[in-house]
Structure 1
C-alpha cells in the first residue's frame, strides 16, 4: 500500500502521515509494533533523528506496510541520519562535547558542588581558578556528569566547553604535551605556529590563552596526576573538571567529587525517565529488583532500561527474571566489586544476529571513537547496512555517540564485546577481520596522503570507496579524524614485518606531515619507516626515511642532536647507494639544522652542497627550497647583496618556461612567499625602505590565510615601519592597527612594537628604532 507522501518527505512527517492513514493513535501503534509510545512521539516530532533499521522494521509491521512503502520509510530514515551530520565545510572543533544523556537523573549534590565551582571560576574569586576531580568506578557516570555541567543553559561560562579524552586506560595514554597541542589547536592556534614552538613555549601559550577563557574544560578519563597537572590553569576563569577512576590524590588544591552507585531512589527515577513512570509505578518491587540486579550502576541500568523501553509488552518482573537468569548463566564482567554483565548480556541476547556480530567486532577498532566506514570494513558489510546496525546498537544502549557522526564504546562495553568476540568468533575470524581493517585503513591512508603529493593528487574514481576523498580538505580531515585507526594499522603492519607497506604509508604522508606537525607521532612513523628500509636492505629507501626522520626529530620534537645524527646517517646511506637526490636532501636538512642553532658558516656550506646536488639531479623544487633557506643564512652572515642575488635567482627559476609544468602551484606560491619574506629583512636591515615595502606588500595577507599569525603580524609591523620611514603615515598607521587586530595570536613583543610605532605616528615623532628579527 503506497503512502502518497513522497520519498523527499522528512522521516517524522512521513511516519505521522502513515500512522494517520491507518487511523492509529501513537499508543495503538506502540502496541502493534512493540516500539514505545515515547520513542514514536520523539520520531514524529523530529527529536529522534537516528532511527535504526530494527525500529523501522517493527514500525512497518505495526503499520502493515507493503514492500514499497517499507522501502520508502527506510529511505527517509537514512536521509534523516545523513541530514543530522554537519555540512561539508563546516568546521567542528575536535573537542566538541559528545551528546549528553537526555534522561540524566540524580547526582544533584555533586552537580551543586560543580555549579558552585563554575560560578567561582567565572567570577575570578581566587588567585587561580578552581579545579575538580570527579572519580568513581567505571560506568558510574563521571563523563555524563561533567558533560551535564557543561551543557547547562545557565552555565556562567560563555566561551563554551571543551573535552579531551586523556585515554588513561590505554597502553599509550595521551601525554600532557600532546593534550596541550590539541587544546591550542582547538583554541585557534594554527599548526604552523605550533610547529615553531618548543614544548615549554606551547605550555606557556596554553596558559596564556587559558587565562583569557571563561569556559569549562573536561579532561576525561585521566590515568595519572602527571597527565593533568600541567594543564591546571594558573590564572583566569577556566574551570577544569578531571574525570578518573582514581582519586588522583597527588593533585593539590582541587575539589574532589566522588561518585558511587545510585541510591535505590535514584535508580527508580532513572527507570521512570527511560521506561516510563506508569510502568515503574505499577511494579515498584520489580523496578527495585532491576536496580539491584544492575548493581545500581548507571551504565548497566541505562542499558537494561533502554532495552525495556522498546518492549512495551514486557513487564518489569519479566525483565528482572531475565536479568537474574543471565547473571547465573554467563561469566561476570566486573566493575570493582559490581557485577554488571547481566544487563549487557540481556541486551546482546535480544539483538539481531548481524547487530550482535557488529557489537563484538567493534572491540577490534582502536582509539576513542570511530565512524561507520571502519565498522563496515571490520564487519564486512555494505556501508548503509553498517549504519543501520550501529543505530540499532545505539538505541539498545550498547553504543554512544561522539562528535559529529562518530560513535564510541564505553570501556566496560568494549571489554564485554571483546570477551564475547573471543568466545564466539574464534581466532581465524578475528584474524580475518583485523586483516581487512588493516589493509583498508592503510590503503585509504595512502590515497589520502598522496592527495598532497605533486606527483599524485586526486585518487582515481572509485564508486565503492567508503569515504569521500574528492579534494585535499576531505583527505586531510580523514587523516586527522582516523589518526588512531591508521596509526594502529601501521604499527600492526610493522609488527607483521610488512616492511614495504610501512615505507609506502610513511612516504605517502611525507607532504601532509607539514600540515599536522603537532600530531605527536611523526617521529614514530619515520623511525619505523627507516627501520623498514634497513630490514629490506635498501640503503636508498632507508636514507629517504632517515631524512624525513631528521625533519620529524627537529620540527616535531625539538631533538636537535638526534635530527643531525639522522640526517648524517641519511647522507652516508645515500652516498653508498649512489642516490644523488637523497644526498642533496641530507645536506638540505643539515643546513636547516645548523642554521637553527646559529652555525651560519656550516649551514651555508651544507646549503651550497645541496644546491649543487639538486642541480645535478635536475630537481628544481628541492633547489628552490634550499635557495630560500640560503637567503636567511646569507643575511645572518652579513652578505646582503648575495642574499638579494639569491632571491633574484629564485624568481628567475620560477619564471623559466622549462619549469612551468615541473613546479606545482602550491610549491610555486609558497616559494615566492618564503623568498620575498626572507629578502625583506635584508632590505630592512640596509634601510632600503621602498624595496622592503615592495616585498612585504607582495606577501601581505598570505601568511594570514595560512594561519601563520606570527609571520603575518611581522609583515604588517615591518611594512608599517618602512612606510613610516617613507612618510606614508596613514598607510603605516593602518598596518600598525592590523597588528593589534590580531590580538593574542601574535606575540606580546610584536604588539608592543606596534603600539609604540602607532604612538610615535600620532605624536609626530620618527618611528622607533627596531631590530628586524625573523
Structure 2
C-alpha cells in the first residue's frame, strides 16, 4: 500500500476563486540521507555486524532514534545519547571522540541552515523576583530531580525498574502552584541543558488540551517539524514524544491539569527528564508520583512575602497590622501579593490603615473564594484605587478571548491605541491584578478573571459588554482572514494593511507567526462566533485558513474548524457551501486524525449535496477526495474511476487547476490498476493543457512546472513497465536535476537509476555506466536501497554480465 503523506493530500480542497495547488501523494521530499554523522554511525554499526535493533538493545537508545540519525533526520543528538551508543558499539576513546565531533559538526550545520532560533512559546516564563517560602517543598522536589540527573545510562529508567521522577503539586487556587514549579525549574535549569518548558493544560476550560495536543505542542517546541508530525498518527506522536523525552534532559511543567487521563499519557517512560504537574485536584489516580500538597503559607512565610514586597523596615514596625493583613488574606499567596503590591505603591499609608480596609467585610464579594477562604478583599482594595481607565481595562479583560492576551486585543476591547493599552496593562501589573506573560503579553489569574467578571457585571451594562466582546471577536477573526490571505494559491495577492492599523501582516512569515501565536485566541473567538450564530463569518474564516492548514497539519483543531464550518453552511441553507466545507473536513479527518471512514463519509455527503445543488466543482473535489481515500485501501481501480469522473466534472466546469490535479492523479493510479492506456491518455491531456496558448495564462509558471514534472515522472513508469525504453530514456533525461533541485531526493534517485536501466536496455552501456557512477557519487542524499541497486547493475555492466532483472515499484 502506498502511504499518503498527510501534508500532500490537501489538494482535494481549495478556495472558491477556482485556483488550487497541485499535490500528489507519490511525490514527497525525503530527508537528506547519509550526512557525515549518519554515515559514520552506520559504518560503525555495520563494522560490528549489528542490526539497528541489536544496537538499540545494546545501547538503550531506541531503534527509531538510531535510524533517524543514520538517515540524517536527527542532526542534534545529545551527548548522553552518543555515550550510550558508544557503549553499545564498544568504541575506544578515539572513535568515541570522532563520533562526538561528527555530531557537533552536524548540530552546527543544522543550526546554520535553520537560521536564527525562534523562541518556543512554551519556554519557562519569568519567575517571581520576590518568591519566598515553600522551603520544605522545594527541597523535596530538588531531591526528586536529583534522581533524574544522577542516574547514568538513560536505559536504566524503565516502567518496570523505576518510576521516572514526576511530581504532582496540588492545592487551592492562588496557593502558588505554578510559581513553585517555575521557581524549581529556574533553580534546576543548569541540570537540564535541553531546556525548561511550561505548558498550560487549560484544565479549567470547557475544552482542556488533550494529551495528544499537549504532546504535539511540546514536540513542536522541541524542534520537530510540522511536516514530520503530519505524517504520523496520534499513537506515533506520543511514541515520538516518549522517544525525545528519553533522549533529552528537560524539565517540563504541565500546568493546570484537569484529570489523570489528561496527564497520564504525558509522563515519559524512560530518560533523565523531570516532569512537574500542577493541579487544583490531587490527581490521586496517578501512580508512582511524588506528591506535594500546598496549603496556605505559615505566618512566618506570609510575613516574609510582605517583607519581600514592602521591605523589612516597614513590615517589622507594625507587627499587629501585619498579623491582621495576613488573617484577612487567609495566608493565600495570591491575595497577600495583591495586597502587598497595593501597599507598595502607597508609601504614605501605614499597614494599620491597610489592615483596616481589608477587614471591611462589606468590600468582599461572597461569590469569590478559594476553597472556603474569601480572598476578594485584597482584590477589591487594589481595584478600588485604580484610575478609571485602568479599572475599565481590568473589567474588559474578563471578556477577552483566550487566556494569553496581546496588546492588540486589549486595545480593541478598550477602543484605544496599543501604546495607551500597554500603559493601562502595566498599571494593572504594578497593582498585582495582572500577570506579565511571554513576549509582551499578559494573563489574568483565574481568581482575578472571576473578580474582573464580577465587577464587569456590576458596573458595565450588558449591552456594552456584549459590544466589547463582539468587537474583540470580530477583530480576531478578521485578522485571521487577513493572515490566511498570505497562503492563498496566488502568493502575490497579499492582504493590505488592516483598517485599524493595529496589526502589521506584511509577509508570510509574520502571518504564519500571528496565526500560531494567537491560535488559542482566534480559536476561542471562532467558537464564540459559532455559538452566537455568526455562520457567514465562521465559513469565511474556515475558508481563508484552508490553504494555510497545510502548513500546520499537526495543530489538532482543523476537524473542529471544518465541522463548525460545514454546520454553518447547513444553517445558512447553502448546500454548495456545506459541501465545500465537508470536502475540507474530509481532508482534516484523514490528514490530522487518520479517520478514514469519517473522511469517506464526509466526502460522500459532500458529493450528494453538490449533486443536488448541481455544482460540478464540488462534485469533482468529492470524487478527487474519494480517489485518494481509495488508494489507502489499495483499491487502484476504484481510485482510477474516481479520478476519471473528477476530470470530467472539472472539464465541464472549465476548472483548469482542478482538472490538472485530478488528471495527474489518474496517471499513477490507472497504471497501478493495470490500465496503462488510460494513464497515457491522462498524461497527454495534462501536457496538452499546459502547452495550449489559450490556457497558459491561467496557470502560474510554478504550477505549470511542478504539474509537468509530476506527470512526467509518473508516466515514466508506464514506459518502463511496457519496455518502451527509448521513450523512457528521453523522458527521464529531460527530468534529470529537476527533482533533486526541489529536495525530492528519493524520486530524483529513481530518475537517475531508471534512466541508466533504460540506456542499458538500449545497448548504450557507456552512457548507462556513467549514469550509475554519477548516482553513486550522490551518497549524501540518495537512499541506500537505490544506491545498492545502482551498484549491483554497474558491477554487472563492468563484468560484461547480463543486467539483473529490474522491477519498477512506484
Shift of 1:587: 0.9
Confirm or deny that 1:377 pairs with 2:412: yes
Equivalent residue in structure 2 for 1:614, among 637, 645, 650: 650
What RMSD, in angstroms, separates the aligned Cα atoms of the two structures?
Answer: 3.5
**Within 5 Å, which residues of 2 pair with 1:628-647?**
628-637=664-673
CA–CA separation in structure 1 for the residues paired with 2:138 and 2:790: 49
| Contact in 1 for aligned 2:709/2:735 (Cα 8 Å) | no
Residues 584 and 256 of structure 1: CA distance in aligned 2, closer, same or farther (over 3 Å): same
Q: Measured at CA, do residues 94 and 627 of structure 1 come closer, stay the same or move farther in structure 2, by a change above 3 Å?
A: farther
Q: Does 1:127 align with 2:137?
A: no
Q: 2:442 aligns with which of 389, 407, 410?
A: 407
SS of residue in 1 equivalent to 2:291: strand
Between 547-556 and 317-326, report the one with greater CA deviation: 317-326
Q: Residues 312, 204 of structure 1: CA spacing in aligned structure 2 closer, same or farther, 3 A cutoff?
A: same
Q: CA deviation at 1:459?
A: 1.9
Q: Does 1:603 align with 2:639?
A: yes
Cross-structure match for 1:497: 533
Q: Does 1:189 align with 2:216?
A: no
Deviation at 1:222, TM superposition (A): 0.6
The residue that corresponds to 1:346 in the other structure is: 381
Where structure 1 has 5 or more consecutive residues not aligned to the other structure, the ranges are 1-87, 704-711, 740-749
Question: Is 2:203 aligned against 1:168?
Answer: yes
Pair 109,640 (structure 1): closer, same or farther in 2 beyond 3 Å? farther
The residue that corresponds to 1:118 in the other structure is 145
Partner SS for 1:338: coil
Conserved 8 A contact 2:497-2:505: no
Offset at 1:757? 8.8
Residue 606 (structure 2) pairs with residue 570 (structure 1): yes
Partner of 2:597: 561
Residue number in structure 1 paired with 2:92 = none
| Residues 582-601 of structure 1 mapped to structure 2, 5 A cutoff | 582-601=618-637
Deviations 1:563-587 (A, max 9, x none): 2122122222222222121111111
Change in 2 beyond 3 A, CA 1:756/1:327: farther
Counterpart secondary structure, 1:155: helix
Question: Bigger shift: 321-330 or 715-724?
Answer: 715-724
Question: Quick one: distance in 2 between partners of 1:399 and 1:486?
Answer: 21
Aligned residue among 533, 538, 561 for 2:574: 538
Residue 275 of structure 2 is aligned to residue 240 of structure 1: yes
1:49-88 alignment, distance < 5 Å: none
Q: Which runs of 5+ in 2 are unaligned?
A: 1-114, 758-768
Deviation readout 1:432-461 (Å, 9 max, x if unpaired): 112212222222222222222236832233
| Contact persistence 2:401–2:525 (CA under 8 A) | no
- Give the Cα–Cα distance (whole angstroms) in 2 for the partners of residues 577 and 272 of structure 1: 72
In structure 2, how many angstroms separate the alpha carbons of the residues matched to 1:306 and 1:327? 22
Query: Cα–Cα, structure 1 residues 226 and 702, in superposed 2: closer, same or farther, change >3 Å?
Result: farther
**Could you tell me whether the CA contact under 8 Å between 2:753 and 2:771 is conserved in 1?**
no
Give me the whole-angstrom Cα distance separating, in 2, the residues matched to 1:444 and 1:346: 37
Aligned residue for 2:275, secondary structure, equals strand
Counterpart of 1:307 (choices 339, 342, 360) is 342
Residue 93 of structure 1 is matched in structure 2 by 120
1:268 Cα deviation after fit: 1.9
**Residue in 2 that maps onto 1:698:** 738
C-alpha distance in structure 2 between counterparts of 1:758 and 1:273, whole Å: 72
Tell me, in whole angstroms, the C-alpha distance in 2 between the residues paired with 1:421 and 1:768.
80
Aligned to 1:483: 519
The answer to whether the Cα contact below 8 Å between 1:332 and 1:340 also exists between their aligned partners in 2 is no
Determine if contact 1:719/1:732 at 8 Å carries over to the other structure: no
Q: What is the CA-CA distance between 1:653 and the residue it aligns to?
A: 4.2
Task: Note if contact 1:344-1:398 (Cα within 8 Å) is conserved in structure 2.
Answer: yes
Asked if 1:179 corresponds to 2:214, the answer is yes
Shift of 1:391: 1.2
Tell me the distance in 1 between the aligned counterparts of 2:386 and 2:650.
Answer: 63
1:721 CA displacement: 7.1
Quickly say closer, same or farther: Cα 1:467–1:684, change in 2 above 3 A.
farther
TM-score (norm 1): 0.78
Q: Which residue of 1 aligns with 2:21?
A: none
1:680/1:695 contact within 8 Å kept: no
Counterpart check, 1:552 vs 2:592: no
3-state SS in 1 of match to 2:198: strand
> Are 1:157 and 2:192 an aligned pair?
yes
**Higher-RCO chain (CA-CA 8 Å, sequence separation at least 6):** 2
Q: Distance in 2 between matches of 1:668 and 1:449?
A: 24
1: CA distance, partners of 2:804 / 2:256: 52
Aligned length: 668
- Is the contact made by 1:164 and 1:219 (CA closer than 8 Å) also made in structure 2? yes
- What is the Cα deviation at residue 591 of structure 1? 0.7
In the alignment, the residues of structure 1 paired with residue 752 and residue 313 of structure 2 have an alpha-carbon distance, to the nearest angstrom, of: 73
